[in-house]
Amino acid sequence: MKIYLKIIAILALAMCLLNACRNEKKLQAADAVSKVETNVDTVNINADPKTKLDYAEPDFPTSSNKIEDLIPQYFDIDMEASGDLNHDGLEDKVLVLINTRDTTARRATLVILKMGSSYSVDTKSFSVIEPKYREEGYRNYDYEDIKIDKNGQLIFNQQSTGPNGSLESTFKYINNELFLTNISSFAMGAGGQTELKLDLLKGNFEQTDINTMKENMPSKTTTKKYKLPKLLFSNSDPREVMIKAFNNNSK
């Protein structure tokens, strides 16, 4: 009987020691995870990609007889358009360049005017069009396009089925300077759709809300005067302009 009790006691002690070891390992593992999480750099997790420029702005050539000579090192043509922007009868070029070292960086857009037999970079912008890719590797827009229409207007068209929705921005030469003239956007959400239009020359803001929860999808359109200073191509950010206009006029 005594031997039997001793065996039981020994087994119980062994089980206690085994559980203690397991608990210790769990605590060590939990502590390790905590340390890893504590050391994560959270400063840059929510960084806005539009304000991120990992590499210094390159030196852009101002003129050349060849378009390819105007493209700096580490940049490739992502989109391009041809047409007469300044109504001089010559075919101009607009190039959207992507940084080959960082496709999440802001893209450079060059407006190149034909000057006789050569080409001249009249203006450029790092804010007029958003980065092509997000940090996670996904594209910001499913479809993108630029064109110069028959009236010499430069039009950027970006469309997405995701939260970015669609955005179209129009620029036009006025007194030899390229200005942002119109913006329109469209977004879908739970139970509704919103279409926004902003005419910067006339100072008109228009908002149309569509209720998709009802079978006939009723809509309501409101128009307000919203005067803005003239925005040059070089420092225009159409999405930010539209967000500000929406916030100021939807109260």
Whether 177 is covered by a domain: the verdict is yes
Whether 7 is covered by a domain: the verdict is no
Whether 20 is covered by a domain: the verdict is no
Question: Lowest mean pLDDT: which of 25-34, 35-44, 73-82, 242-251?
Answer: 35-44
Q: What is the DSSP string of 54-65?
A: SSPPP----EES
Whether 27 is covered by a domain: the verdict is no
Q: What count of Cα atoms within 13 Å lies in the side-chain half-sphere of residue 10?
A: 6
As for how many domains the chain has, the answer is 1
Whether 188 is covered by a domain: the verdict is yes
Q: pLDDT tens digits, residue range 181-202?
A: 999 999 988 788 999 999 999 9
The sheet carrying 75-83 orders its strands as: 63-64, 118-125, 108-115, 92-99, 75-83
Whether 13 is covered by a domain: the verdict is no
DSSP annotation of 232 reads B
Q: How would you label 145-161 residue by residue, b for 16+ Cβ within 10 Å and e otherwise?
A: ebebeeebbbbbbbebe
Kindly state the tokens that stand for 129.
Answer: 């069009």
Q: Which residues span the domain enclosing 223?
A: 49-249
What mean pLDDT, rounded, does the chain reach?
A: 82
SS3 per-residue string spanning 95-158: EEEEECCCCCCCCEEEEEEEECCEEEEEEEECCCCCCCECCCCCECCCEEEEEECCCCCEEEEE
Mean pLDDT of 3-9: 41
Kindly state the tokens that stand for 97.
Answer: 């360049």
Q: pLDDT tens digits, residue range 163-173?
A: 789 999 999 99
Question: What's the CA gap between 169 and 182, in Å, rounded?
Answer: 6
Whether 26 is covered by a domain: the verdict is no
- CA torsion sign for 15, 21, 25, 28 is positive
Confidence of residue 13 (pLDDT cuts 50, 70, 90): very low
Helix (H) or strand (E) holding 6: helix 2-38
> What percent of the chain has pLDDT above 70?
77
Please tell me the pTM assigned to this model. 0.76
Confidence of residue 23 (pLDDT cuts 50, 70, 90): very low
Whether 17 is covered by a domain: the verdict is no
Q: Which residue has tokens 């989109």?
A: 79
Mean pLDDT of 223-248: 95
